Amino acid sequence: MPDNRQVLVIGHQNPDTDSVCSAIAYAELKNLLGDQKHIPCRAGEINQETAFVLQRFGIPVPMRVNDVSAQVMDIDIRNIPGISGSVSMRKAWEKMRDLDIHSLPVITEDNKVEGIITIQDIALANMDGLDAHALSQASVPIKNLLETLKGELVCGSEDQIISKGKIVIGAASPDVMEATVQKDDIVLLANRYEAQLCAIELNASCLVVCLAPSIAKTIIKLARENGCTIISTPYDTYAAAQLITQSIPVSRYMKTEVNSFKLSTSVDEAKRIMGQVRFNYFPVTDNNSEYCGMVSKRNLLNLKRKQLVLVDHNERAQCVDGIEEADILGIIDHHRIGDLETSGPVFFRNQPVGCTATIIYQMYLENGVKVPENIAGILCCAILSDTLALHSPTCTKTDENAINELSKIAGVDIADLTEELFDAAEDLKNQTPEDVLRRDYKIFVQNGVRFGVSQGTYNTESIIAEAEKMMHDYLPSAVSSRHVDMLFYIATSVPRQSSDVICAGSNSSLLLQKAFNVPVKDGRATLPGMMSRKKQFIPALLNALSESPNLYLTK
């Protein structure tokens, strides 16, 4: 059978323009090819540059996915219709029998879970069925009696509620009935005129006439005049007596303290809860607490892990949480090969180009698929962003050819689009230091040292100075909150083809000095010609950490 699950296409945490636009473009390609449905996603908040790009080309922001761990939604959820609390115990049992289940959810009019009724609850209710006042105590509606007894309403209203009286088995002798039947009682009796007349005269509220093909018109007239309901049933008196208490609404015996799960509940949490109770079936609700279906302990055996395609990264530290519980179907990237492991062979495409978007464009060409105009626009922006307007040393002829062709499809001027893009990216108005840091932030780990690197690209020196002051004041406190040993912020100037670096964290200045052989003063250094984090900055830090790892470990 074909796999109808959706495939999530997702970039790295703290997404940049390339990771978001590549996810959108690749998902669009796969959907145009008619493959399994692909959904573009993001692993964090988008930065203002990416927000500008998506708005510029009229594309909605992809949904955010924080965790791809197995959830209840990944289990086979059984579509079991819920029942109202007014449904009879008999009807509930029939549904369980027909569906071959042992539990039913009790649902309110607005589709919220009110309780749960089990086969054990029904069995216990039947064992307690000797109480003659059971119907009035449970406020049973007449319509439940009709349903349970397969009865016909001869006179009265099916909406009437039984609120008084007891159940009485009517005797053939009026003398005996006078001693047992009281006002408002529910009387079960045979089709005998004298007994029916006596019950009405004794002010019974309801007559259940058994094995009655017809009832005398005089009895019906007297019953109406005295407000007595008459139900005709095909069952004999013995069967009717056995069945009548099964008309009690399930709300009387249902459990209201229900263990239910959200669609987003983790499978681990569901397993923990299931192991603590004796129930087999559990209701599932959506984010609005509306009922979706039922899951059982057995359903855990049919877990379908989330399916992912990763773009613009292949390192564990940059992946969305829960990646070890998902099935990775493919990786499309232009970075170094990292430490990510998969459970089996996957489609892996890694090319030494300046941008993942360039690879995605190639895949459109290879599959003979025309690039939609808006997709071409966002791919242009991704290439401009990742290659620093084609000035980065990571930029290749392949990137240049791609953006030239894509700009024609999108109908944009590269120079004008570059100016728009960088104006949006360097605007610091209403931006907090945290906003600036996470614009293009990645975490790396080498020889036990965990460090984060963020890069901002600017055209204006005054904006660079503002960003540097902001980061210099903020980075020391951010080291602890981001659970890293060191933090580096690269403020790259496109006009002067140079970068200033701000660092914080134990031994960060020492590492920066050793890696680039430059003076570092007050956590600041200037690196002429340094434009690329991927090709120039990160390799230098990793090499320095490899040569003398113990030198930089926090004491």
Give the tens place of pLDDT for each residue, 167-196.
998 876 777 888 899 999 999 998 889 899
Q: How far apart are the first and last CA of the chain?
A: 57
> How does pLDDT run across 357-373, given as a tens digit for each residue?
999 999 999 999 999 99
- Predicted confidence at residue 2, as pLDDT, reads 40
pLDDT (mean) for 474-483? 93
When mean pLDDT is compared across 57-61, 108-112, 160-164, 174-178, the lowest value belongs to: 174-178
Tally of CA atoms within 13 A in the half-sphere of 358 that contains its CB? 26
Highest mean pLDDT among 13-17, 338-342, 404-408: 404-408
- Report which of 447, 457, 469 is spatially closest to residue 522, judged by C-alpha positions: 469
Can you tell me the distance from the alpha carbon of 199 to that of 181, in angstroms, rounded to the nearest whole number?
7
Give me the sheet containing 524-528, strands edge to edge: 441-446, 449-458, 486-493, 498-504, 524-528
Q: For residue 550, is pLDDT > 80?
A: no
* Per-residue pLDDT at 172: 67
pLDDT for 1 equals: 33
Closest of 274, 334, 316, 321 to residue 298, by C-alpha: 274
Q: What is the CATH code for 433-552?
A: 3.10.310.20
Listed in order, the ranges of the chain carrying CATH 3.40.1390.20 are: 139-247
Q: Taking 70 as the threshold, does the pLDDT of residue 472 lie above it? A: yes
Q: What is the mean pLDDT of residues 121-126?
A: 86
How much is the pLDDT for 214? 86
Residue 154 backbone phi and psi in degrees, to 5: -80, -45
Cα dihedral 522→527→530→531 (10° resolution): 50
Specify the pLDDT at position 553: 64
- pLDDT (0 to 100) of residue 251: 92
- 419 pLDDT exceeds 70? yes
Q: Provide the percentage of residues in the chain whose pLDDT is more than 70.
A: 98
What integer pLDDT is reported at residue 176 of this predicted model?
A: 83
Q: What is the pLDDT of residues 275-315, one digit of tens each?
A: 888 777 899 999 899 999 999 888 887 788 899 999 999 98
Give the pair of three-digit tokens for residue 186.
Answer: 């529910």
Are the beta carbons of 28 and 364 closer than 8 angstroms?
no
For residue 370, give the amino acid letter: K
Q: What is the pLDDT of residue 128?
A: 67
Long-range contacts of 139-143 (CB under 8 A, 24+ apart): 139/163, 139/249, 140/247, 140/248, 140/249, 141/86, 141/249, 142/206, 142/229, 142/231
**What pLDDT score was predicted for residue 387?**
93
Q: What is the mean pLDDT of the chain?
A: 91
DSSP 524-545: EEEEET---IIIIIHHHHHHHH
Per DSSP, 477 falls in state H
Per-residue pLDDT, averaged over 475-479, amounts to: 94
pLDDT classification of 101: cutoffs 50, 70, 90: confident
The CATH number that domain 7-68+306-425 falls under is: 3.90.1640.10
Question: Strands, DSSP E only, in 156-306?
Answer: 161-162, 167-169, 186-189, 206-210, 229-233, 261-262, 281-285, 291-296
Q: Which residues of the chain form CATH 3.90.1640.10?
A: 7-68+306-425
pLDDT at 453: 95
Q: Cβ of 467: how many Cβ atoms within 10 Å?
A: 23
Domain with CATH 3.10.310.20 in the chain: 433-552
Residue intervals in the chain for CATH 3.10.580.10: 73-125+252-302
Q: How many CB atoms lie within 10 A of CB 316?
A: 14
Residues 191/212, Cβ–Cβ less than 8 Å: yes
**Tokens in use for 292?**
């979706």
The architecture (CATH level 2) of 73-125+252-302 comes to Roll (3.10)
Whether 247 and 147 have beta carbons less than 8 Å apart is answered as yes
pLDDT at 4: 57
CA distance 250 to 242: 17
pLDDT-above-90 percentage for the chain: 66
Class at the top of the CATH hierarchy for domain 139-247: alpha beta
pLDDT reported for residue 277: 80
